[in-house]
Structure 1
Amino acid sequence: MYLIAGLGNPTKKYEHTRHNIGFDVIDRLADQYNISMNTKKFKGICGTGVIEGRKVLLLKPQTFMNLSGISVREAADYYKLDFTQELIVIYDDIDLDPGNLRIRKKGSAGGHNGIKDIIAHLGTQEFLRIRVGAGAKAEGQDLVNHVLGHFSGEDRELVAWAIENAAGAVRLMVQGDTDAAMNQYNKKVVKE
């Protein structure tokens, strides 16, 4: 069993913002694999299904971003998962340009409050993660307004492409091939 958690904020107000790209990847996986996201459990919205022959739980925590660890830990404990092998967390990263992914097996929070909370609740930095590029804020722009803002028209195509690639990475990762996912998707995308 794999727990695939996409981070974001609940309510329509935050749909498709930079901070909610994790939710967008979960929605894409749910569509691709006909997984119904209609269960309210683990302080989140979730659905169980199968991806590439592996049973998965797709999870969108509803605790708001900064408290994501509560939901992720509850689900991981329920299924008695090995955090280092059976948990994949998908989230936005302002240090990556739109369209870029960075897949890692472990690491620090890098200033991301949702990841800080997950690390605090799990007691480890060792879990699989997919960082999806949200782009840096403009000089002088408020960080909160940036991450809660929407992508510009020119970035939307890159973001849609990144969401597809993140879903592709998940397919490899649930087959136990995170190295292949890293080799295939950890490539810099340059705007043309």
Structure 2
Amino acid sequence: MKFLIAGLGNIGPEYMLTRHNAGFMVLDRLAAQHGFTFTMNRLAYTAEWRHKGKIIHLIKPTTYMNLSGRAVGSYLKQFDVPIENLLVVTDDKDLPFGKLRLKPKGSAGGHNGLRSIDEVLGTQEYARLRFGIGNDFSKGRQIDFVLGKFPAEEMDVLPDHLDRAGEAVLSFCTSGLQHTMNFFNQK
């Protein structure tokens, strides 16, 4: 059984450790913990990981957030992964910092990366794991907030939240969407 996990973010050193790169950070943390590496390929950094009999393809699109759909659509076809085995990991300003929310489908909710994926796939019916980044910004400062770096007090606990998100990714691949939602959405 094959899966495609797409962690969303923006490439480049200026975006490292920014809130909008939470999807990249979750996949990078998984790679560090489980000993696989990403390789630069067309439209994305890619990795393949075999876990409990599953083939898990991971991508970090290099198209920048607003064109994430190009990479997701391309690799979904290339790896011949059914859409029900696609999981998109992304930041969410409407959730408190560190809170996870897994959903089987849904709207883009103002997220340009999800909007791009919706357009390319022609559907909103794919799983998404939203990683809460909070919304502590004043009116008109949303872009600065999401493209800003996590403050020191959040950086101290960020690894624990990334670990939990990684556990949710593994659970999605090994235990299924419903079980994972029941367990991780409650915490």
User: Aligned residue for 2:73?
Assistant: 73
Aligned-residue offset at 1:109: 0.5
1:4 counterpart residue number: 5
Query: In structure 1, the residue corresponding to 2:95 is in which secondary structure?
Result: coil
Q: Give, in whole Å, the separation in 2 of the partners of 1:166 and 1:110.
A: 20
**CA displacement, residues 68-126 of structure 1 (integer Å, 9 cap, x when unaligned):** 0000000001122211x211100000001111000011111011000000000001111
Give RMSD over aligned pairs.
Answer: 1.4
136-145 vs 125-134, which deviates more? 136-145
Moved over 6 A (4+): none
Q: How does 1:5-154 map to 2 (within 5 A)?
A: 5-41=6-42, 43-83=43-83, 85-154=84-153
The alpha-carbon distance between structure 1 residues 102 and 158, as it changes in their structure 2 partners (threshold 3 A), is: farther
With structure 1 as the length reference, what TM-score do the two structures score?
A: 0.92
**Deviation digits for residues 28-76 of structure 1, max 9, x if unmatched?**
11122222212413x0111112133311111000000000000000000
In the alignment, structure 2 segments of 5+ residues that lack a partner are none
Shift of 1:157: 3.5
Shift of 1:183: 1.7
TM-score (norm 2): 0.94
Shift in Å at residue 153 of structure 1?
1.6
**Alpha carbons 1:98, 1:159 under 8 Å: kept:** no
Which sections of structure 1, spanning at least 5 residues, go unmatched?
A: none
Q: Percent identity, please.
A: 38
Number of residue equivalences: 186
